[in-house]
């Protein structure tokens, strides 16, 4: 339990790109959405976009990934998924979020990085 809370602490305060609320407040991320296997160094975060056609789903996922990348020791493998049946293009989003190359490419884009940093700012309080 303690381990879950530690992980949740890292990402609960991420701000939604479109609203002034945190992901936890919007129930995008909940306690039971995080699975951790500490021995195998594996984390899986399952998040629930607010609406089915949420265009920001990839950005939210990217924020979570970047935040965990910056907060976890490098030994962890992070897997980020949209909760099954909650997004129209679920497969595409999942694929995009877990593709190392595409994440790296996304972080080359200064506009995107600015947006991510803005969302993450409250988590470094």
Q: Which residues bind another protein (CB under 8 A)?
A: 6, 9-10, 70-75, 117, 124
CB 57 within 8 A of CB 45: no
**Min CB(7)–another protein separation in Å:** 11
Q: Give me the least distance between CB of 12 and another protein, in Å please.
A: 13
The Cα-based distances of 14 to 29, 40, 60 in angstroms read 10, 26, 9
State which residue, 71 or 86, has the beta carbon closest to another protein: 71
Which residue's CB is nearer to another protein, number 83 or number 113?
A: 113
**Nearest approach, Cβ of residue 48 and another protein (Å):** 25
Nearer to another protein, 72 or 115 (CB): 72
Sheet of 42-47, strands arranged across: 34-37, 42-47, 77-82
């Amino acid at each position: 339990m303690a381990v879950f809370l530690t992980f949740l602490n890292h990402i609960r305060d991420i701000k939604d790109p479109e609203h002034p609320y945190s992901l936890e407040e919007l129930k995008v991320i909940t306690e039971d959405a995080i699975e951790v296997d500490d021995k195998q160094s594996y984390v899986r975060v399952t998040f629930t976009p607010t609406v089915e056609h949420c265009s920001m789903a990839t950005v939210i996922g990217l924020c979570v990934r970047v935040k965990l990348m910056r907060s976890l020791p490098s030994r962890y493998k992070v897997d980020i998924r949209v909760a099954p049946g909650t997004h129209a293009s679920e497969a595409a989003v999942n694929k995009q979020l877990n593709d190392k190359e595409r994440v790296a490419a996304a972080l080359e884009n200064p506009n995107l990085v600015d947006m991510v940093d803005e969302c993450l700012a409250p988590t470094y309080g």
